[in-house]
Amino acid sequence: MLGREVGVSSWVEVNQAQVDAFADVTNDHQFIHVDPARAANTPFGGTIAHGFLTLSLLSAMGLEAQPKIIGAVMGINYGFDKVRFLLPVKTGSRVRGRFVLSDVQQNKPGELDVNWEATVEIEGGKRPALVAAWLNRFYLEPDIDDDP
């Protein structure tokens, strides 16, 4: 499966209530996110989602679209090697995630690092909103044969 697309999430609408809530949580109330009247006079023509909000949607998209790791009891976000915000996500638009499996490494017994090429696309868009090299770490249940 390395190098192949392994999952695509459902479309998710990014609405103003989500953007406002994200602004409250992150204390980022820049008008292009939370003031529709002022944002209407920008090149975006209205409010846009925070780039970090779009990035954070990868967690739910990945949970839905990525194949399950057999034997995994827990997974964590391990980080990103690269993130690029290519286009703004206009409030009211829909986005979805696409995932290509780029690498799998076992660091030590019971620990698996999985790297994804993640893309968030905007419905009807010609280019993605973002691309990222996303790292996940999975902890596997102990092998019964390894017990003392």
pLDDT tens per residue, range 29-65: 999 999 999 999 999 999 999 999 999 999 999 999 9
Task: Specify the pTM.
Answer: 0.89
Which class does domain 5-146 fall in? alpha beta
In order, the DSSP letters of 22-56 are HHHHHT---HHHH-HHHHTTSTTSS-B--HHHHHH
- Residues 6 or more apart whose CB falls under 8 angstroms from that of 19 comprise 33, 34, 47, 48, 49, 50, 53, 91
Tell me the Ramachandran region of residue 69: left when phi exceeds 0, alpha when psi lies from -120 to 50, beta otherwise: beta
Inter-residue contact 116 to 136 (CB < 8 Å): yes
Tokens standing for residue 64 = 């839905």
Kindly give the pairing relationship between strand 94-108 and strand 111-122. antiparallel
- Every domain of the chain and the residues it spans: 5-146
Tokens standing for residue 118 = 């993640």
Residues 68-106 have pLDDT tens digits of 988 999 999 999 999 999 999 999 999 999 999 999 999
Kindly give the pairing relationship between strand 111-122 and strand 12-13. unpaired
Residues 100-125 have pLDDT tens digits of 999 999 989 999 999 999 999 999 99
